Structure 1
Amino acid sequence: MIISILLYSISSNKAYTTEKIKIFEKTLIFSKNDTLKSNIKRNSKIITFAINPPVIKAQGNQLFCPQNSINIVTGITITHDITEPGTTAVYIQISSGYSHGFDKLELSNPTLHPSIVTSWDITAGKLKLSSPTGVDVSYSDFEYAIKDVIFLNSSTTASGTKTFSITIGQANFLPSTGHFYQFVPNIGITWTQARVAAENSTYYGLKGYLATILSADEAKLSGEQASGAGWIGGSDTETENVWKWVTGPEGLENNGSGTIFWNGLSNGTTPNFAFWNNNEPNQTGDEDYAHITAPGVGIPGSWNDLSNTGSSSGDYQPKGYIVEYGGMPGESPIEIAASTQITIPEAIITSQNPICDLGTVTLTATSNSGTITWYDAAVGGTLLGTGNTYTTPMISTTTTYYADAGCEINRKTVVATVNKTPEAPIVLSSVSRCGTGTVTLQATSNIGIINWFTTPTGGTSVYTGNRFTTPNVSANTTYYAEASNNGCDSNRTPANIIFYTPPVVSDEEVVLCENQAVILDAKISGMTYRWSTGETTQSISVSNSGNYSVDVTSQNPENCTSTKNITVLKYEKPIIKNIDVNNRSITIHLTNAKNYFEYSIDGLNYQTSNAFYDVAGGLQSAYVRAKDNVCNINEVTQSFIVLIFPPFFTPNNDTFNDSWEVTGMENYPEAQVTIFDRYGKLLIQLNASKMSWDGTFNAIPLPASDYWYAMKIDDTKPMLRGHFSLKR
């Protein structure tokens, strides 16, 4: 900034001297209310000069169609102090909505502006208009040039709104906040040093601070569109993983403790805006300070956490810091920047409901910029209507229309869909079912998909597809097939399931008697039969045991088959091997024991067990036969003798147990029983002629005591010994 001061001699009224006094912004800062007092004493007189910052006003909220160019302003004025008619540079930046590689600003008709050269910064999206010689260019020339600055976009799919900021200083201006942002390069500077340096910076009277980034627009302008990456004002030094803005206006909140913007430790959420890089903040070491990530590392313009010093080299070495100006308490906004914007008209299409066969369709679209016009072609074509809705004429085929929000190149396709109603499905014949179970139904349609229902109208589809396997059916049942083509539904076709009850058969067991044949019978008449033997009659004769089956099939149209299984059990004639007699317990042993034999010792009462207890003494008979006397097998019998040796006797002539006698001995004519006293003295010998003992010896009654016996039946059987008591 150059101030020319002309000093006059008061006494002579002639020019005393003229000199250029250069005052740089780094030493003198101006605002609207600042007054630079330059006191020059000459003849005891004081001359005072007042210099105010320029004020920029711009107009130009316009619509823009992609692949065209447009002037960024429709009008601009720069009001300046009379002592400062010009400056060396003006900056114009796409401050929001910038599309790197597609958007561009340039000066049209550069030959009309010989005092100005341009420089385009593709990273920042910023165009610099400046003096080629370093000599100030008048504000009027800058006004004239700014009016010739145009915006261009090479993308056919460009959309949204783009904001242009026009400022005299180098700092980036963001209209949405009214703040200025500037990257200050300083390799290796620490966060604490950067904080002090930022707070010692001023910009046209605005106090600087490490940037606090509260929105996506701020993040993009101060990160992705900045000329470098550096420190910002976030820290979690107070509480680990609770990140706060500790600089600027946000740093003054909550009694100076700062404003939380990310609290990943306690709740895993981001309470306010944050733009961390992938897997950040990672809290490695003492990484307590926020830094905009180096270009090429992860998400452009995003943040990572570093220690106060960062790395000594590489991507994580601090390269500088981002200073933000504006918003501090007591500051008035300055007007060294202005903004305009363009909006790319875009139609927003509302989903259209299709129609069936023939009718009209009401199409709906809205615009971000004004009124929708409707056409029948993507380019050119006939204007059909104006407004957010358009009702087509009667149509019978799908027809495409186009919604134009203001740019022909941006017309959106809107399809009025006409779907054909399918013909009623063809069901592939009725299906019968023998017995409870599932059935597979099939149907076809000329278009669309098949839905199956349990009712002729209404209800909910139970299956979708041409082949439907039903749940179990146990009675005549009808399902209904409906063809659906994107909401256009046919009439329903019934699919009948005829339920038949199969022949009722039951499995059985049949006894085949030894050396005989047995008749097997399906036991249901009027059917067709197929035996496992190959025979086809209702009954067959077999002479071998085993498993047999017969398929019993009902007559047409049912043709239901049930299978009867018959087990043929062969019964043999029992053969007694021996009979074990143990006192009054006996066991009948067979040489061919089977589970179908039953046993008896009286010929009347039979049991499945071959063991008997408390059998009466004397000659007995054992009986063995097939259960229930099946096969009319004659009972097999065998006699046996049960000998009972009384354990005591009482010879007192009361008629009860007056003598000792071996029951059953009579069945052994040769048997002899010898009785001894306890000393082995022979007292008496019993045989077929004398069967009992009265307790005397030589007619003299013997005393009560225990006596011993030895019984010899014959020479083929073992001697039987024991003892008994005589009681008086």
Structure 2
Amino acid sequence: MNSPSIKLLILIPLFFIFLKVFPSFNGFEFTNSKKALPESSPLNSAPILTATGNQVYCPGTQMKIVTDMTIVDPDDTGIDAIYIQISSGYVSGQDLLSLTGNHPTLNSSWNTLTGKLTLAGVSTQPTYTNLIAAIKDVVFSNSSANPSGIRTFSITVGQANYLPSNGHYYQYVPNIGITWSSAKSAAQASTYYGLQGYLATITAADEAQLSGEQAAGAGWIGGSDEQTEGVWRWMTGPEIGTVFWNGGVNGFSPNFAFWNSGEPNNLGDENYAHVTAPGVGINGSWNDLSNSGETSGNYQPKGYIVEYGGMPGDPVLQISTSSTIVIPSITSTVAQSRCGNGTVNLSATASNGTVKWYANSTGGTPIATGNSFTTPVLSSTTSYYVDAFEPNCTTATRAVVTATIIPIPIVTVTPPATVCGNNSTVLIASTSAGIISWFDTAFGGTSLATGTNFTTPNLTQNTTYYVEATNNGCSSGNRLPVVVTIYDIPDVSDENKILCEGIPLTLDAGILNVSYVWSTGETTQTIQITDDSDYSVIVTSLPPENCSNTKHFFITKHTAPIIEEILVTNQTATILISGIGEFEYSIDGYSYQDSNVFAVEEGGLYTAYVREKYDCGEDNDQFVVINIPKFFTPNNDGFNDVLTIKGIEYFPNASLTIFDRYGKFIKKIDQTNPDWNGTLNDKKLPSNDYWYILKTGDGRPDTKGHFSIIR
């Protein structure tokens, strides 16, 4: 086995490996690698790193990040430095890597920003033996009372950040003011241990954190929408041409994207992706810039991020290794609820270990073990607590899982008032919990309204509604019916009534088998009134109907008539009265008329009558009509031969003086001379008009007129 031929067979393939993996400079000097030789040199090979130790971390403790570590290097015994980084799950300000033990030949330095611990020699290059011993003494701790998640530790010989999940490396290159185009070219000209560089293409959350938030600075990455506005593609690396964003601020991603708030906003033809400056919005997120960006401030390019790995022809490297720790934690819980009293099935899952259930948030004995737990019969909402248990290691803070008991609502319906006539009514219901809904069907259908009150539409027939309550999804059960019964409204109508002065008037509600409430407070069917105020009565049908209607009485007072005067002019008599009301008149006591004016053809004594139409009284008085004929014919034929003044006999002092047309006195007729034959001094007067003056002798004005003699 030690023959020269065997050794040659081993060295020949190693020689070709050395040619592929030997590091390249291209403007970068990785001082942490072995003392570098030119890339073309076949005399140096990269070391092979292997770590073991995927472990469970107990909160509040320190834990070594590996259980074993090896570094194999055929041609060297040491290297300048080793870089250990929390490459995924890093929580800045809580997570810490530190070197423990006695390692006098090494210095350690912790970078909080990048989450990286550097192990380097104090004065001389440390040996692999010393470095391996130190790596085994590197511990992880977390200051949080309740840490969670998984931490991945990358252990590498180069300064570039190593991401174990994809095997790629990331290097931030500072270069103030560099354009995106220049950065793209510079990245493509870079190599790292034989890996081809390119502007970073970020396709996952852990990659975004390591290359952005945990990078030494912010700068260009390989995304652009220069080809089509609003269509962002990776323009570099193995993902070249892959679309990762469509649109602007409110766009969408078919893959992974990590834009800052309000980005991309395309201000000033911004077509290139850039990791946002620290302190601007979300750490490690992206914004869009123009090719040159701004000349100063947060939007001035400060460098670029080179990614290595995944390109065709890249060598397979083993210059990095990794280990992980899992922090026992409850990764999910499923609370449950039920309607009313009973058992509830709860569940929880842990990142690792066994789920244990407790009745208290701290201390106590587990009441169950496993991912599921069925509670005892509960009558109220109860919280339970879970932790993830590994031997001698549990979660620092228990997660709460709540079994919610939702009270089943109890509905109470207030009997509705009866609906009188074609009207609506308000239905009232209450619930012990939740929200009341009203329906017009016993099952299914759409809710008509919600709330304790429901106003129906105008109803014309008996109608049934249904009420149900729900409390956070729990129903009160079968809907309660609410029957609305329609009753007729009492049929009454208003009346106008006449009140005769001094005579009580009876008002009658006019409907039987109801209750009465008058505006006077009386409760009988009829009342008597003596004044002319308006009155009303509320009539209400008997239970269960209880429907009411109001009848109004409008009262007008009338008085008895009093004849004040009867004016007689020629053959016309006008009866003048006083009083309030509606009256009718007569001069014979039988025939009555609305007019107070009468034509009286014959002279004589008459009686005037007046009465109120609504029987509020009457009056009468006598009057005399003196009738002076229009002509008479004194021709001795036995008809109308003398002038007779009828009615003058009722006036003892009355006289009628006759004149001819020239005013010559002819004759005086009075009670002693009651008529005239048409002569003067026994001579017949000719046919002609003659004038008269009538004096009644009782203070009335004289009456003048004329009549004719016709022969």
Q: TM-score range by the shorter chain?
A: 0.5 to 0.7
Distance (whole Å) between structure 2 residues aligned to residue 493 and residue 201 of structure 1: 77
Any conservation in 1 of the 2:464–2:483 contact (CA below 8 Å)?
Answer: yes
2:164 alignment partner, one of 167, 175, 181: 175
Give the C-alpha shift of residue 103 in structure 1.
1.0
* Conserved? CA contact 2:66–2:135, under 8 Å: yes
Decide whether the 8 Å contact of 1:379 with 1:408 is kept in 2. Answer: no
337, 361, 365: which one pairs with 1:382? 365
**Given the alignment of the two structures, is residue 405 of structure 1 paired with residue 388 of structure 2, yes or no?**
yes
- Does structure 1 residue 349 correspond to structure 2 residue 333? yes
Q: Which residue of 2 aligns with 1:295?
A: 278
The answer on whether the counterparts of 1:520 and 1:541 sit within 8 Å (CA) in structure 2 is yes
Match of 1:501 among 466, 487, 506: 487
Superposed CA deviations along residues 528-551 of structure 1, whole A, max 9, x for unmatched, are 334446665535678999975321
Structure 2 CA distance for aligned equivalents of residues 229 and 501 of structure 1 = 83
Residue of structure 1 equivalent to 2:106: 116
Note closer, same or farther for the CA distance 1:199–1:438 as it changes in structure 2 (3 Å cut): same
Q: Which amino acid aligns with 2:126?
A: V
1:65 aligned partner: 58
Q: Aligned-pair distance for 1:91?
A: 0.9
Contact map agreement 1:452 1:479 (CA 8 A) in 2: no
Matched to 1:226, the amino acid is: A
User: 2:146: which partner in 1?
Assistant: 157
Contact 2:497 2:553 in 1 (8 A): no
Contact 2:196 2:309 in 1 (8 A): yes
Instruction: State the Cα distance separating 1:140 from its structure 2 match.
Output: 2.2
Q: Is the 8 A contact 1:451 1:462 kept in 2?
A: no
Report the AA paired with residue 88 of structure 2.
Answer: S
Q: What one-letter code is carried by the residue in structure 1 that aligns with 2:53?
A: G
Give unmatched runs, 5+ long, in structure 1: 1-22, 39-48, 252-257, 572-629, 633-728
Task: Measure, in 1, the Cα distance between the counterparts of 2:250 and 2:333.
Answer: 39
Change (3 A) 1:499 1:261: closer
Greater Cα shift, 137-146 or 368-377: 368-377
Task: Return the TM-score normalized by structure 1.
Answer: 0.62
SS of corresponding position for 1:196 = helix
Trace 1:306-325 onto structure 2 (pairs within 5 A): 306-325=289-308
Q: In structure 1, how many angstroms separate the alpha carbons of the residues matched to 2:443 and 2:231?
A: 58
SS in 1 for 2:132: helix
Q: Which amino acid aligns with 1:120?
A: W
Judged with a 3 Å threshold, the aligned counterparts in structure 2 of structure 1 residues 438 and 544 are, in CA distance, closer, same or farther, namely same
Alpha-carbon spacing, 1:488–1:131, altered in 2? closer, same or farther (3 Å):
same
Change (3 A) 1:498 1:204: closer
Offset from partner CA, 1:663-714 (integer Å, 9 cap, x none): xxxxxxxxxxxxxxxxxxxxxxxxxxxxxxxxxxxxxxxxxxxxxxxxxxxx
Question: AA paired with 2:106?
Answer: I
Partner of 1:620: none
- Which amino acid in 1 is paired with 2:525? Q
Q: For 1:477-515, what per-residue CA distance to the aligned partner results, in whole angstroms no more than 9, with x for missing partners?
A: 888988988788889998987858365123346486999
Equivalent runs, 1:101-112 vs 2, <5 Å: 101-109=93-101, 111=102
Question: In the TM superposition, what is the alpha-carbon distance from 1:330 to its structure 2 partner?
Answer: 1.7
Q: CA deviation at 1:202?
A: 0.9
- The whole-number CA distance in structure 2 between the counterparts of 1:454 and 1:274 is 50
The answer to whether the 8 A contact 1:425-1:493 is kept is: no
Q: State the partner residue of 2:199.
A: 210
Partner AA of 1:163 in structure 2: T
SS at match of 1:507: coil
1:392-431 equivalent positions in 2, closer than 5 A: 392=375, 400-406=383-389, 407-416=394-403
Contact 1:450 1:484 in 2 (8 A): yes
How many Å apart are 1:222 and its aligned residue? 1.1
Provide closer, same or farther for how the CA distance between residues 399 and 214 of structure 1 changes in structure 2, counting only shifts above 3 A: closer
Give CA deviations for 1:341-398 in whole Å, capped at 9, x if unaligned: 22222222212234744x5444322222243233444444324343222334566666
Pairwise CA distance, 1:232: 1.1
SS in 1 for 2:184: helix
Of 413, 425, 433, 2:418 maps to 433
Tell me how many residue pairs correspond in the alignment: 532
Flag the 1:217–1:478 CA change in 2: closer, same or farther, 3 A.
same
Equivalent-residue separation in structure 1 for 2:289 and 2:465 (angstroms):
70
Task: Give the % identical residues.
Answer: 49
How far residue 99 of structure 1 moved from its aligned partner, in angstroms, is 1.0
1:270 aligns with 2:270: no
Residue 186 (structure 1) shift: 1.3
Q: Secondary structure at the match of 2:267?
A: coil
1:132 is aligned to 122
Give how far 1:211 is off: 0.9
Give 1:471's aligned amino acid.
T
Please show how residues 36-55 of structure 1 align to structure 2 within 5 Å: 50-55=43-48
Structure 2 CA distance for partners of 1:568 and 1:270, relative to 1, 3 Å: farther
Alignment-derived partner of residue 186 in structure 2: 197
**Alignment match of 1:145 (pick from 134, 137, 141):** 134
Look up the match of 1:232.
Answer: 221
Q: Structure 2 length normalisation: TM-score?
A: 0.64
Partner of 1:340: 323
Work out whether residues 421 and 488 of structure 1, in 8 Å CA contact, stay in contact via their aligned partners in 2.
Answer: yes
1:157 CA displacement: 3.1
CA distance in 2: counterparts of 1:382 and 1:191, whole angstroms: 62
Distance 2:427 2:53 in 1: 71
With over 3 angstroms needed to count, the CA separation of the structure-2 counterparts of 1:35 and 1:24, relative to structure 1, is: closer
With over 3 angstroms needed to count, the CA separation of the structure-2 counterparts of 1:102 and 1:476, relative to structure 1, is same
3-state SS of paired residue (2:337): coil
Q: Offset at 1:281?
A: 2.2
Q: Measure, in 2, the Cα distance between the counterparts of 1:249 and 1:456.
A: 65
Structure 1 residue 221 and structure 2 residue 206: aligned?
A: no
Q: Is the 8 A contact 1:88 1:130 kept in 2?
A: yes
Give the whole-Å Cα distance in 2 for the aligned partners of 1:237 and 1:489. 58
1:105-156 deviations in Å (ceiling 9; x for gaps): 11122x2x111111111111111111122x3211222111111111111112
Report whether the alignment pairs 1:550 with 2:533.
no
* Residue type at the aligned position of 1:116: L
**Aligned residues of 2:339 and 2:408 also touching (Cα < 8 A):** no
- Offset from partner CA, 1:394-450 (integer Å, 9 cap, x none): 66666544322222424323344567778x77777x5643525424546575xx558
**Does 1:26 find its partner at 2:14?**
no
Residue equivalent to 1:91: 83
* 2:512 is aligned with 1:525: yes
Is the contact made by 1:372 and 1:403 (CA closer than 8 Å) also made in structure 2? yes
Equivalent position SS for 2:185: helix
Partner residue of 1:667? Answer: none
Q: Which residue of 2 aligns with 1:471?
A: 456
User: 1:561 corresponds to which residue?
Assistant: 548
Letter of the 2:173 counterpart? V
Q: Does structure 2 retain, via aligned residues, the 8 Å contact 1:37–1:50? A: no
The whole-number CA distance in structure 1 between the counterparts of 2:361 and 2:151 is 25
Letter in 1 for 2:44: I
- Show structure 2 runs of 5+ residues with no match: 1-21, 559-612, 616-711
Contact 1:551-1:561 at 8 Å conserved across structures: yes
CA drift at 1:203: 0.5
Q: CA RMSD in A?
A: 4.6
Measured in 2, the distance between the counterparts of 1:499 and 1:380 equals 64
C-alpha separation in 2, matches of 1:394 and 1:283: 60
Equivalent AA in structure 2 for residue 506 of structure 1: V
Q: Output the CA distance in 1 between the equivalents of 2:275 and 2:477.
A: 65
